[in-house]
Amino acid sequence: MPARPLPVNAIRLDVPTLKQRHKSNFLPRNTYLKPDTKTLKDFKSFGSGSVSLAPRYAPGIALIELRNAEKKNAMSPKMMVDLTRAVGDLETLCKDTEDEKEGSDLVGVVLCGEGGDLCSGFDLSSTPPTKAFHPSFSTQMSTLMHQTLHRLRRLPLITLASISGHAIGGGAELALSCDYRLISPHTRLKFVQIGMGVTPGWGGGVYLQSHLRHGKVLEILGTGRSLGAEELRRLELAEVVDGEKICVREAGVEFLRKFTHDAQGNLRPAHVVREMKRLVSAASGVGTEEEWEMLEKERESFVRLWGQWANRQAVEKFVGTGKGERNNL
């Protein structure tokens, strides 16, 4: 007996939409990006795993690592809170000082996952169905991930997802939120959302559109098919590092070295590189308010579908199914 459809607008978070924000001149800029404290408190108690930040992993480069390897770095609500904190710490570290010599030397950040897989999406076994399918949960999760990834894209840092294995569902959305993707010949990206009975909820629908033409985006999201290394390279969605299994951390640092050091091997002035990132992002619409408005539309679709019959059936099938049946990548 299919589950009773849930009321779609049962609970709405009071995250002011852009229109509301523009109407009120009293809200400071980017209030819409401030995470809801109730969500942060709530989400901390769901799931395992962690997200670590090494702010100076290499000269001028920070490292964000997803750690839930036994679940292919699936992202629990707890890990979403960790990621939000890590992005907040990087925002603080990037604040430019009056004296440019005093400012941070940060230029780039590598996003990777323990063991090489970046992320296999939302951790489907992290949250009890009564919570995961509660009408407020999809709004909370999508709003928090939209805010966090939008803030990641607004950082004046060059961001790179370094992947040696899978980036599936929300994991593919994480990968597309970065400026660059560095992959191995074995990497697979797969927007499985259609097979989960939903549309993207972490930004992937918007980010993919910023790289590819309409028809290709529709085909990739509409079929949920796997994208291998050769096609990702051909679509200019990723750079491929040859080699059986890349060390995602070191390969990421090596890739970003052209931004941290000049051809003679001297450190570039970090505040100039950060300004360059700000300029290019503003010109290409990355992290802009227009992009946020598109994320709001993505969230409306996602919330409408999450917890409905097709989604519940897909999640219950995944959680209850033996390994072999589901890995049809």
Ligand X SMILES: CC[C@H](C(=O)O)C(=O)SCCNC(=O)CCNC(=O)[C@H](O)C(C)(C)COP(=O)(O)OP(=O)(O)OC[C@H]1O[C@@H](n2cnc3c(N)ncnc32)[C@H](O)[C@@H]1OP(=O)(O)O
Give me the residues that bind ligand X (CB under 6 A), please: 71-72, 74, 120-125, 166, 168-170, 192-193, 196, 198, 201-202, 318, 323, 326-327, 329
The smaller minimum CB distance to ligand X, of residues 21 and 166, is found at 166
The smaller minimum CB distance to ligand X, of residues 72 and 153, is found at 72
The smaller minimum CB distance to ligand X, of residues 83 and 192, is found at 192
Residue 72 C-beta: closest distance to ligand X, Å: 4
The smaller minimum CB distance to ligand X, of residues 120 and 159, is found at 120
The smaller minimum CB distance to ligand X, of residues 93 and 196, is found at 196
Convert the chain into a string of H (helix), E (strand) and C (coil): CCCCCCCCCCCCCCCCCHHHHHHCCCCCCCHHHCCCHHHHHHHCCCCCCEEEEEEEEECCEEEEEEECHHHCCCECHHHHHHHHHHHHHHHHHCCCCCCCCCCCCCCEEEEEECCCCCECCECCCCCCHHHHCCHHHHHHHHHHHHHHHHHHHHCCCEEEEEECCEEECHHHHHHHHCCEEEECCCCEEECHHHHHCCCCCCCHHHHHHCCCCHHHHHHHHHHCCEEEHHHHHHCCCCEECCCCCCCHHHHHHHHHHHHHECCCCCECCHHHHHHHHHHHHHHHCCCCHHHHHHHHHHHHHHHHHCCCHHHHHHHHHHHHCCHHHHCCC
Residue 175 C-beta: closest distance to ligand X, Å: 12
The smaller minimum CB distance to ligand X, of residues 58 and 83, is found at 83
Residue 42 C-beta: closest distance to ligand X, Å: 17
Q: Which residue, judged by CB position, is nearest to ligand X in the bound state?
A: 121
Residue 77 C-beta: closest distance to ligand X, Å: 11
Residue 239 C-beta: closest distance to ligand X, Å: 22
Residue 307 C-beta: closest distance to ligand X, Å: 11
